[in-house]
């Protein structure tokens, strides 16, 4: 992982971003549902295996995000996502992107834009990444307990879920803002 070069970010505002990926597909999780006491509500369960991945990054302090839906998790997809984040970072600012230590995040083959510095979170600590909480919210409210008709339907629902959360910056802030990351 690169460290912030003193001349690279000197005098620039710093934006703290959190990045993660989530698989969305036909083998979808079943989540809790409201029902009358004593009844068992039905929940659809699909056995097909088509899926896509949403690469999402959020800046909770500013209530903004950047995402791409990709067919695979790999270095190319991550490079495309970093380019998307770089376009979303405020002009003249520098972004520190905190992420887990997946192989496509740590490879030397990954192209990192000049206005971004990657910083790894501790291994096996998903609770440190508020993007995980955002994924849970999106699953609970818009992506679980459904049967997707096709791959295109998966893409449509995933993109719509991201657009909904992005249109609610206050919710993104309430779910993901952490004192340890922004309290300094």
Over the chain (184 residues), the average pLDDT of each successive run of 10 is: 53 92 78 77 70 96 96 96 98 96 93 96 88 94 88 96 96 86 58
Which H helix or E strand runs over 16? strand 14-25
56: nearest Cα among 43, 46, 65, 64: 65
Q: Rounded to an integer, what distance in angstroms lies between the CA atom of residue 109 and that of residue 132?
A: 25
Domains and CATH numbers, the chain: 15-21+49-182 (3.30.420.10)
pLDDT tens-digit map of 102-120: 999 999 999 999 999 999 9
CA–CA dist 175, 82 (Å, integer)? 22
The confidence score (pLDDT) of residue 41 equals 76
- pTM, 2 dp: 0.82
């Amino acid at each position: 992982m690169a460290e912030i070069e003193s001349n690279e970010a000197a005098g620039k505002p710093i934006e703290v971003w959190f990045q993660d990926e989530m698989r969305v597909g036909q083998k979808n999780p079943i989540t809790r549902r409201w029902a009358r006491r004593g009844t068992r509500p039905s929940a659809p369960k699909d056995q097909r295996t088509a899926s896509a991945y949403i690469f999402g990054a959020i800046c909770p302090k500013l209530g903004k995000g950047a995402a791409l839906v990709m067919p695979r998790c790999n270095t190319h997809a991550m490079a495309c996502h970093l380019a998307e984040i770089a376009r979303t970072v405020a002009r003249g600012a520098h972004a520190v992107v905190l992420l887990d230590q997946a192989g496509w995040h740590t490879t030397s083959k990954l192209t990192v834009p000049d206005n971004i510095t990657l910083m790894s979170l501790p291994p096996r600590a998903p609770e440190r990444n508020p993007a995980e909480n955002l994924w849970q919210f999106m699953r609970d409210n818009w992506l679980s307990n459904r049967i997707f008709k096709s791959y295109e339907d998966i893409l449509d629902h995933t993109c719509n879920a991201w657009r909904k959360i992005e249109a609610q910056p206050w919710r993104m802030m309430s779910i993901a803002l952490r004192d340890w990351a922004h309290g300094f």
